[in-house]
Chains A and B, each alone.
Chain A
Amino acid sequence: MTDPTPHRRRSLPARSSLPARTSLPARAAAAAALLCLAPLAGCSAVFAGTSSLTGKDSLVVGVKADQPGLGLEAAEGRFEGFDVDVALYIAGHLGIAEEDVEFTGVTSAQREDVITAGDVDMVVATYSITEQRKSVVNFAGPYYVAHQDILVGADEEDVEDVRDLEGMTLCQGEGSNSANRIIEEKGIAAELEEEPAYGDCVTRLADGSVDAVSTDDLILAGFLASDPSAFRLVNAPFTNEKYGIGIAKEDVGGCEEVNRAVTKMYQDGTAEKLLDEWFGETGLDLVTSVPQFEGCG
């Protein structure tokens, strides 16, 4: 990493600098492979040590930088939110102190790339588990199953489920598919408006130029928590979004250990505490029991 100061790096290093950075571990792995030709026990340990999360003493974690309540860069280099706290809990389980965890902002489109390139050790960034993504990265968790839901203005009393959006203006973040699910799949005649990000949709909801915003309930709850009196969460879930912890495809052992951390996080009550801390006042129905894991590998 170019900048060793924890919590200080925001943008990712240019991809062109990658070959120089990866050549050393690659050489070390080649040396380890040569050693393994000799009948030595513990070759698997040599390989595991080069990349597994379980052997690390510091971590670089990719989180969202613009998602209040989940991953938000509150001040230059300082990140906060549920995802950030989950990452810190996992780091603690892996024996890594808080000051050795470095957070870096990632966008939705960057998530696979930063993992496969080795720029980050772990991505905790409202990262839904899908079969396509699973063929590129390994997913521990889910640590929470979010659902697509609807956010409306506080004085909008009539919307009780997704079918009530008929004839309303619906805002969607660019590159997202959530409004299409309502309009095309469910055949509900709502008018679609697009904004660069969901934060912009929420701003438009506040000024009344759109009627509703629909995306993952945790994301909506995060916006709601920042201004509880302005909006209302409908609580009409209609999809499952399994938020996973993305790690390198080959690190099955690390993935299994992160699953143990997530199990423990629910068993010792930390998950409930964190969910309550970040979303407790939004009226969202929170599930405080460990989700069904996806399975590593």
Chain B
Amino acid sequence: MATQAIRPVRKLDERHLARQRWARAGWVYGAMLALAVFFIGPFYVAFLGSLKDNPLEWPFRYSFAQTQPKNWAAAWRLGQLGAGNPWTGGFAPGAEIPFQISYFLEEGQEPEPPTVTVPTRRAGAGLGAIFDEVQAAQYAQVSEVQEVNRRPAVVGGRPGQIVTYAFTIRYPKGDATANQPTVPRLPLDVEAPRGQQYYAATLDPNRLERRGRVASWDSVTPGFFGYVFRNYVRVFNEARDPNTGASFFLRWTANSFFVSLAVVLTTLLFASLGGYALARMYLPGKNYLFAFIVFSMTVPSQATFISNYLVLRDLGLLGSLWGMIVWSAVGAGAVFIMKQFFESIPREIEEAALMDGATPVTTFFRIILPMAAPALGALTILTFQGMWNEFFKAAVVLSGQQASYTLPLGLSFFRSAYGVAGDWGLMLASAFLSMIPIIILFVVFQRYFVEGVSTSALKG
């Protein structure tokens, strides 16, 4: 719209033209803002989804329990009360948690106090099922439920009243010899007779079950993170190695860093050596070699992976991160970029060095490589990003060895482990967590990303 609007308007006066220019800039910014929403919007709504108890709820809400400051404050305070830990909560000896819940009753219905229980909750599916959690049900004592308040109200157009009940959950402190662990969470079920409609509570429940009759909390002492970033905390807590108990997700992150950094190092070294030789040194048949390298870049990796898989198998590198590193040690694309770069720098400098009698090896490491810093920077970023995101090679080499997974494979593992149960909160949370390092890298080095793409592509 904006571009079409610029016409040679010779008869318009200056004031008109200035007005047009300003308005045009406004429209362009508007368009760019709309595009930014288009590219970032999906990630924003997915992030909202990752905070929800049920990311697939219908209709989609932008405002829900986890986004409400009221619940943030309550979660913080309850975490503090439960175990003196406002961040991740818990349930420690001596804790005393006052709790209130309100129900709406239509006119003519007699209020009846709900039944409060601290249930035994074991994860039934996914990796959480592996570990026997200490259960709060063993230690918690629920006081009698008392009605504290009644007030008339109209909800959804129906007249009636709102009745509030209060109760306290205690963790009685035994004598010093008693073995009383701090329990990680305090689940709660509050069941009301049919017809009483849940209205509000100290902390909003994670879900309403049995058609609204049971309000259910995963923990009423969650702490801020435990409530708002519940799914994110679960990524670390649930996905653990059954033999060692170590967090899978941290392990995968470390693996991803290890593989990416190792490949960056080998690529920088081998690609700059190779690129320099191709750009500057005398070698018969060099052009044919270069043409062949370019050809190799167009052959899909699916056409060569079978043999590579077998080679790595014979080397005993399957299921090992080293297998990934060896397979990706240096790519034709990286050599290509370095060759292009070395061709663009002036020849005189190295010739002077060679005149002084330095060998090509010293010249290369002392003079050429330091000059190549910008190209190496771009190559580092591209290689790191490529390896961090690499899925195909990981799927071929690391399949089945959970402790050696990299993050992309870990995500696909979560997808299959939690997909059947439709546990989208955990899958989305793990996807966002896996993005953090690459986002940081991108924000810091965005120039390199953007330049790396356009230069390497245009020179091809």
Q: Is chain B found bound to chain A in the same assembly?
A: no
Q: Which residues of A contact B (CB under 8 A)?
A: none
Q: Which residues of B contact A (CB under 8 A)?
A: none
